[in-house]
Amino acid sequence: MIKGNAVIGQSGGPTSVINASLAGVLSEVKNTDMIDSLLGMHYGIEGLMNEWLINLGKQPSQVLEKLKTTPSSALGSSRYKLKEEDFPPLLEILKKYTIRYFFLIGGNDSMDTINRLESYCREQKYELVGIGVPKTVDNDLYGTDHTPGFPSAAKSNILNVMQAGVLARNMQKVDQYVVYQTIGRDAGWLAAATALARKQEDDAPHLVYPPEIVFDEQKFLDDVKKVQEKYGWVSVVVSEGLKYADGTPVSASKEKDKFDNMEFGAMGGASVGLNVHSMINKEFGWRGEFQITESLIMSDIARSVPQDIEEAFQCGVKAVQLAEQEDSGHMVCMNRISTEPYQINYEKVPLSEVAVRAKSMPRNYMNAEGNFPSPLFTEYIRPLIDELPEFTRLEMKYLNK
């Protein structure tokens, strides 16, 4: 068994439960004698490169107790993409601090970082156990039923659409439509989740458009017209990554990040929600509203799912257990063995199967029209979301009828 220090970092965008995974690692490290000290990378892999290391074993007990219910990335995050010239100095830092265990909590780009660093160390005959802890609100990691952070972000989206829908329904004599934009570059899991907001036929959302379905402007406008004629108003949910048949983003974004991913929202200098809103206004002349939450749903701990917090914590625990078995080159995953009753197992998946890939929603998770999630998707997501509020309606009984 390898003995030495461990280092842990958080990478990419945050979630409301990412610190619960950190807490899980901190908790389980105390139960093993293979790790002398657990060090924290301040600002992800950049923190390790610059030796910005924190002794997590010396944190006050009250800080650790509250970590599970604290949003965003407590250690600070980074989106730095490792270059080939970064590996030799990184190896020297690992040697300097006797780091034999490397944990990183993140998404597919983060898994790529672990995979590359672990592979380099193996080539250089330096024993390093690299373990990935899954995290992403987008739910687009391969090898796992879902990712910690997705259920809570999904619930935040659902509540936003529910409440915006009540507002839009009651304001339909002023505004005939509302457009809600959610994050989701390549996968529409978060957009599709809003289907749970719809409890009655005319509830929001009426139309949902994920990036997996090619966006057709004329078909979209036809869909909008049919719904407005039926209910008197329209609720539309769109993913930021919507694209036309030729691959052009509906948002008109042109900027890319360091991982060659298209930038959307503020950094992309464009908005699919605003553009779709404009299409409707131009075609029909209606007034309408639009909401863009951007990263707010990624750290909405106030509306998080308790089960999501616990699963994130257990993923951290499992990561240390895999490290103890020297199961290097793997990411913790959750395997669903039953939907009703809901039950999962914590297992592992090779980093090579996860790194730099995005798991799209299956086509059968959307209806034939491609404008609303199917019952199959509802069956998948329902066990992940806890109880939602019930709203009431006045009985519209006019005096003269």
Q: Which residues are catalytic?
A: 138
Q: Residue holding tokens 């057709």?
A: 216
Please provide residue 300's backbone torsions phi and psi, each rounded to the nearest 5 degrees: -90, 75
Please provide residue 377's backbone torsions phi and psi, each rounded to the nearest 5 degrees: -70, -40
The vertex-239 CA angle with 236 and 240, nearest 5°, equals: 125
User: 131 near 323, Cβ under 8 Å?
Assistant: yes
The vertex-247 CA angle with 279 and 262, nearest 5°, equals: 95
H-type alpha helices, 67-210: 87-96, 108-123, 150-170, 189-193
Asked whether the CA dihedral 204, 240, 77, 3 is positive or negative, the reply is: positive
User: 313 near 114, Cβ under 8 Å?
Assistant: no
Strand partners, 51: none
User: 239 near 188, Cβ under 8 Å?
Assistant: yes
- Calculate Rg over the CA atoms of the chain: 23
Cα–Cα dist 69/175, whole Å: 38
Which residue, 73, 123, 118, 116, is CA-closest to 94?
118
Terminal Cα-to-Cα distance of the chain (whole angstroms) = 82
Secondary structure, 3-state, 266-326: CCCCCCHHHHHHHHHHHHHCCCEEEEECHHHHHHCHHHCCHHHHHHHHHHHHHHHHHHHCC
Q: Which run of H or of E encompasses 26?
A: helix 18-29
Bond before 211 cis per omega within 30 degrees? no
Q: Which two tokens stand for residue 287?
A: 């007034």
